[in-house]
Chains A and B, each alone.
Chain A
Amino acid sequence: MADKSLDKETVIAAGTRIVGGVRGEEDLTVKGRIDGHIELTETLTIEPGGVVQAQIEVKSLIVNGVLVGNARASGSIRLGEKARVVGDLSAPRITVAAGAAFRGKIEMGEGGARPADKQQVADQAASAGAAAIKLPPRLAPPSRAGAAPTATLLAPRVATAPPTRSSGPPSLPRPDAVGVASAPAWSKKKQLRRR
Chain B
Amino acid sequence: MANTSIGSSIVIDGEITGEEALTILGSVKGRIAVAQSVVVEAGATVEATIEAQSLAVSGRVIGNVVARDRVEVRPNGRLLGDVKAPRIAIADGASFKGNVDMDV
A6 to B20 alpha-carbon distance, docked (Å): 14
A27 to B16 alpha-carbon distance, docked (Å): 18
Please indicate the chain B residues that have their CB under 8 angstroms from the CB of A7 in the complex: 5, 7, 23, 25
Please indicate the chain B residues that have their CB under 8 angstroms from the CB of A25 in the complex: 9
Interface bin, chain B: 20 to 34
Contact of A20 among B3, B4, B15 (CB under 8 A): B15
A1-14 vs B, CB cutoff 8 Å, 1 = contact: the mask equals 10000111111111
B15 CB, min distance to chain A CBs, angstroms = 4
User: By the criterion CB–CB under 8 Å, are B9 and A16 in contact?
Assistant: no
- Which chain B residues in 1-33 approach chain A with CB under 8 Å? 2-23, 25-26, 30
User: By the criterion CB–CB under 8 Å, are A8 and B7 in contact?
Assistant: yes
User: By the criterion CB–CB under 8 Å, are A10 and B13 in contact?
Assistant: no
Please indicate the chain B residues that have their CB under 8 angstroms from the CB of A27 in the complex: 7
Q: Does B34 contact A (CB under 8 A)?
A: yes
Contact (A9, B9) CB under 8 Å given A15-B18, A17-B16, A24-B26:
no
15 A-B pairs within 8 Å (CB atoms) are namely A1-B3, A7-B5, A8-B7, A10-B5, A11-B5, A12-B4, A13-B3, A15-B18, A15-B19, A17-B18, A18-B16, A24-B10, A28-B10, A32-B18, A36-B14
